[in-house]
Chains A and B, each alone.
Chain A
Amino acid sequence: GIQVEQSPPDLILQEGANSTLRCNFSDSVNNLQWFHQNPWGQLINLFYIPSGTKQNGRLSATTVATERYSLLYISSSQTTDSGVYFCAFLTGGGNKLTFGTGTQLKVEL
Protein backbone atom coordinates (compact mmCIF):
# COMPACT_ATOMS: atom_id res chain seq x y z
CA GLY A 1 0.00 0.00 0.00
CA ILE A 2 0.87 3.65 -0.14
CA GLN A 3 3.29 4.74 2.57
CA VAL A 4 2.92 8.10 4.30
CA GLU A 5 5.69 9.78 6.26
CA GLN A 6 5.52 13.01 8.19
CA SER A 7 8.29 15.27 9.39
CA PRO A 8 9.42 16.37 11.83
CA PRO A 9 8.10 13.77 14.27
CA ASP A 10 8.32 16.22 17.18
CA LEU A 11 8.47 19.99 17.32
CA ILE A 12 8.66 22.51 20.14
CA LEU A 13 7.94 26.15 19.37
CA GLN A 14 7.86 29.36 21.29
CA GLU A 15 4.54 31.13 21.05
CA GLY A 16 4.53 33.41 18.02
CA ALA A 17 6.92 31.31 15.95
CA ASN A 18 6.13 29.94 12.49
CA SER A 19 6.55 26.34 11.37
CA THR A 20 6.18 24.05 8.38
CA LEU A 21 5.07 20.45 8.68
CA ARG A 22 5.61 18.04 5.83
CA CYS A 23 3.78 14.96 4.57
CA ASN A 24 5.40 12.71 1.96
CA PHE A 25 3.54 9.86 0.27
CA SER A 26 4.92 7.08 -1.85
CA ASP A 27 2.36 7.17 -4.66
CA SER A 28 -0.28 9.47 -6.08
CA VAL A 29 -3.21 10.33 -3.85
CA ASN A 30 -6.16 12.50 -4.72
CA ASN A 31 -7.95 13.29 -1.46
CA LEU A 32 -5.37 14.41 1.06
CA GLN A 33 -6.52 15.87 4.37
CA TRP A 34 -4.83 17.47 7.36
CA PHE A 35 -6.14 16.89 10.88
CA HIS A 36 -5.23 18.33 14.26
CA GLN A 37 -5.66 15.99 17.20
CA ASN A 38 -6.05 18.13 20.28
CA PRO A 39 -4.88 17.07 23.75
CA TRP A 40 -8.36 15.65 24.44
CA GLY A 41 -7.99 13.25 21.50
CA GLN A 42 -10.48 14.86 19.16
CA LEU A 43 -9.58 14.96 15.46
CA ILE A 44 -10.30 18.35 13.96
CA ASN A 45 -10.47 18.81 10.20
CA LEU A 46 -8.01 21.47 9.07
CA PHE A 47 -7.89 21.14 5.30
CA TYR A 48 -9.19 18.92 2.55
CA ILE A 49 -6.53 19.62 -0.06
CA PRO A 50 -6.07 17.17 -2.95
CA SER A 51 -3.99 19.81 -4.73
CA GLY A 52 -3.16 23.49 -4.69
CA THR A 53 -3.08 25.89 -1.75
CA LYS A 54 -5.67 26.83 0.83
CA GLN A 55 -5.58 29.24 3.76
CA ASN A 56 -7.64 29.46 6.91
CA GLY A 57 -6.55 32.17 9.31
CA ARG A 58 -3.06 31.44 10.61
CA LEU A 59 -2.96 28.08 8.88
CA SER A 60 -2.37 27.28 5.25
CA ALA A 61 -1.64 24.13 3.29
CA THR A 62 -0.17 23.26 -0.07
CA THR A 63 -0.31 19.92 -1.85
CA VAL A 64 1.85 19.17 -4.88
CA ALA A 65 0.35 15.88 -5.94
CA THR A 66 2.75 15.33 -8.84
CA GLU A 67 5.69 15.51 -6.43
CA ARG A 68 3.90 13.50 -3.74
CA TYR A 69 4.02 15.88 -0.81
CA SER A 70 1.90 18.27 1.18
CA LEU A 71 2.91 21.06 3.53
CA LEU A 72 1.06 22.58 6.46
CA TYR A 73 2.12 26.07 7.53
CA ILE A 74 1.40 27.41 10.98
CA SER A 75 2.10 31.09 11.50
CA SER A 76 2.20 33.03 14.78
CA SER A 77 1.74 29.80 16.73
CA GLN A 78 -0.34 29.74 19.91
CA THR A 79 -0.43 27.33 22.82
CA THR A 80 -3.80 26.08 21.57
CA ASP A 81 -2.02 24.80 18.44
CA SER A 82 -0.39 22.08 20.55
CA GLY A 83 -1.28 18.50 19.73
CA VAL A 84 -0.61 16.02 16.95
CA TYR A 85 -0.96 16.91 13.29
CA PHE A 86 -1.83 14.10 10.89
CA CYS A 87 -2.06 14.00 7.14
CA ALA A 88 -4.33 11.29 5.74
CA PHE A 89 -5.95 10.08 2.54
CA LEU A 90 -8.50 7.56 1.33
CA THR A 91 -7.20 4.68 -0.77
CA GLY A 92 -8.48 4.44 -4.33
CA GLY A 93 -11.43 2.27 -3.42
CA GLY A 94 -12.23 4.42 -0.40
CA ASN A 95 -11.77 1.43 1.90
CA LYS A 96 -9.34 2.87 4.34
CA LEU A 97 -8.29 6.31 5.55
CA THR A 98 -4.52 5.95 5.76
CA PHE A 99 -2.81 8.20 8.29
CA GLY A 100 0.69 9.55 8.35
CA THR A 101 2.97 9.03 11.31
CA GLY A 102 2.03 12.40 12.80
CA THR A 103 3.92 15.45 14.06
CA GLN A 104 3.69 16.10 17.79
CA LEU A 105 3.70 19.88 18.29
CA LYS A 106 4.13 21.69 21.58
CA VAL A 107 3.86 25.46 21.70
CA GLU A 108 5.30 27.05 24.82
CA LEU A 109 4.84 30.51 26.30
Chain B
Amino acid sequence: GAGVSQSPSNKVTEKGKDVELRCDPISGHTALYWYRQSLGQGLEFLIYFQGNSAPDKSGLPSDRFSAERTGGSVSTLTIQRTQQEDSAVYLCASVRGGNTEAFFGQGTRLTVV
Protein backbone atom coordinates (compact mmCIF):
# COMPACT_ATOMS: atom_id res chain seq x y z
CA GLY B 1 0.00 0.00 0.00
CA ALA B 2 0.88 3.64 -0.14
CA GLY B 3 1.50 3.93 3.59
CA VAL B 4 1.65 1.97 6.81
CA SER B 5 -1.79 0.67 7.68
CA GLN B 6 -2.93 -0.33 11.16
CA SER B 7 -6.12 -1.98 12.29
CA PRO B 8 -8.32 -1.57 14.12
CA SER B 9 -8.20 2.21 14.59
CA ASN B 10 -9.89 1.90 17.94
CA LYS B 11 -10.37 -1.05 20.26
CA VAL B 12 -12.24 -1.19 23.53
CA THR B 13 -11.81 -4.42 25.46
CA GLU B 14 -12.63 -5.76 28.87
CA LYS B 15 -9.89 -6.35 31.40
CA GLY B 16 -8.56 -9.89 31.11
CA LYS B 17 -9.38 -10.35 27.43
CA ASP B 18 -6.77 -10.90 24.72
CA VAL B 19 -6.38 -8.43 21.83
CA GLU B 20 -4.61 -8.53 18.48
CA LEU B 21 -3.39 -5.42 16.72
CA ARG B 22 -2.34 -5.53 13.08
CA CYS B 23 0.25 -3.59 11.11
CA ASP B 24 0.64 -3.68 7.35
CA PRO B 25 3.96 -1.97 6.46
CA ILE B 26 4.90 -0.19 3.26
CA SER B 27 5.63 -2.72 0.55
CA GLY B 28 9.34 -3.51 0.31
CA HIS B 29 10.20 -2.13 3.75
CA THR B 30 12.35 -4.64 5.57
CA ALA B 31 12.22 -3.20 9.09
CA LEU B 32 9.12 -2.90 11.27
CA TYR B 33 8.74 -1.33 14.71
CA TRP B 34 6.03 -1.28 17.36
CA TYR B 35 5.77 1.60 19.82
CA ARG B 36 3.17 2.61 22.33
CA GLN B 37 2.22 5.99 23.69
CA SER B 38 0.27 6.44 26.88
CA LEU B 39 -1.78 9.58 27.34
CA GLY B 40 0.46 12.64 27.58
CA GLN B 41 3.63 10.57 27.38
CA GLY B 42 6.41 10.00 24.87
CA LEU B 43 6.83 7.01 22.60
CA GLU B 44 7.90 3.75 24.20
CA PHE B 45 9.75 1.21 22.04
CA LEU B 46 8.27 -2.29 22.14
CA ILE B 47 9.76 -4.53 19.45
CA TYR B 48 11.73 -4.40 16.20
CA PHE B 49 11.79 -6.79 13.22
CA GLN B 50 14.48 -6.67 10.54
CA GLY B 51 14.15 -9.04 7.62
CA ASN B 52 14.56 -12.64 8.68
CA SER B 53 16.66 -11.83 11.75
CA ALA B 54 15.49 -12.62 15.26
CA PRO B 55 13.37 -9.70 16.53
CA ASP B 56 14.59 -7.30 19.19
CA LYS B 57 12.03 -7.82 21.95
CA SER B 58 13.85 -5.76 24.55
CA GLY B 59 11.03 -3.23 24.89
CA LEU B 60 8.15 -5.59 25.58
CA PRO B 61 6.92 -4.70 29.08
CA SER B 62 5.83 -8.18 30.15
CA ASP B 63 5.35 -11.73 28.89
CA ARG B 64 1.71 -10.86 28.18
CA PHE B 65 2.97 -9.04 25.11
CA SER B 66 4.13 -10.84 21.99
CA ALA B 67 4.47 -10.04 18.31
CA GLU B 68 5.10 -11.85 15.11
CA ARG B 69 5.77 -10.89 11.55
CA THR B 70 4.66 -13.32 8.91
CA GLY B 71 6.43 -13.56 5.57
CA GLY B 72 8.45 -10.47 6.30
CA SER B 73 5.39 -8.28 5.85
CA VAL B 74 2.30 -8.03 8.09
CA SER B 75 2.87 -7.94 11.84
CA THR B 76 0.51 -8.75 14.69
CA LEU B 77 0.99 -7.50 18.25
CA THR B 78 -0.87 -9.64 20.79
CA ILE B 79 -1.63 -8.60 24.34
CA GLN B 80 -2.93 -11.38 26.57
CA ARG B 81 -5.01 -10.87 29.70
CA THR B 82 -5.19 -7.12 29.14
CA GLN B 83 -4.84 -4.75 32.08
CA GLN B 84 -5.99 -1.16 32.42
CA GLU B 85 -2.40 0.07 32.25
CA ASP B 86 -2.22 -1.38 28.72
CA SER B 87 -4.52 1.41 27.55
CA ALA B 88 -2.51 3.48 25.07
CA VAL B 89 -2.06 4.24 21.40
CA TYR B 90 -0.05 1.49 19.70
CA LEU B 91 1.97 2.75 16.74
CA CYS B 92 3.70 0.79 14.02
CA ALA B 93 6.47 2.08 11.76
CA SER B 94 8.33 0.65 8.80
CA VAL B 95 11.72 1.50 7.31
CA ARG B 96 13.06 0.57 3.90
CA GLY B 97 16.34 -0.53 5.38
CA GLY B 98 19.86 0.78 5.69
CA ASN B 99 19.06 3.33 8.39
CA THR B 100 16.75 5.44 6.30
CA GLU B 101 13.45 7.19 6.90
CA ALA B 102 10.77 5.70 9.17
CA PHE B 103 7.06 6.03 8.40
CA PHE B 104 4.29 5.52 10.96
CA GLY B 105 0.77 4.19 10.69
CA GLN B 106 -2.18 6.06 12.16
CA GLY B 107 -2.09 3.95 15.30
CA THR B 108 -4.54 1.78 17.24
CA ARG B 109 -6.12 3.37 20.30
CA LEU B 110 -6.61 0.62 22.87
CA THR B 111 -8.85 1.17 25.85
CA VAL B 112 -9.10 -1.50 28.53
CA VAL B 113 -12.19 -1.14 30.74
Chain A residues engaging chain B, CB cutoff 8 angstroms: 30-31, 33, 35, 41-43, 45, 48, 86, 88, 90, 92, 94-97, 99, 101-102
Chain B residues engaging chain A, CB cutoff 8 angstroms: 31, 33, 35, 37, 42-43, 45, 48, 50, 56, 59, 89, 91, 93, 95, 97-104, 106-107, 109
- A96-B48 in contact given A33-B101, A41-B37, A41-B107 (Cβ < 8 Å): yes
Contact A97 B93 (CB under 8 A): yes
Query: Interface centre among B42, B97, B99, B103, by most A CB within 10 Å?
Result: B99
| Residues of chain B with a CB closer than 8 A to A90's CB | 95, 99, 102
**Cα(A94)–Cα(B97), bound, Å:** 8
| Residues of chain A with a CB closer than 8 A to B89's CB | 41
- A48-B100 in contact given A42-B107, A94-B50, A99-B42 (Cβ < 8 Å): yes
Q: A-B pairs with the 6 shortest C-beta distances?
A: A43-B104, A48-B101, A31-B99, A99-B43, A95-B56, A90-B99
| Residues of chain A with a CB closer than 8 A to B42's CB | 99, 101-102
How far in angstroms is the closest Cβ of chain A from B41?
Answer: 10
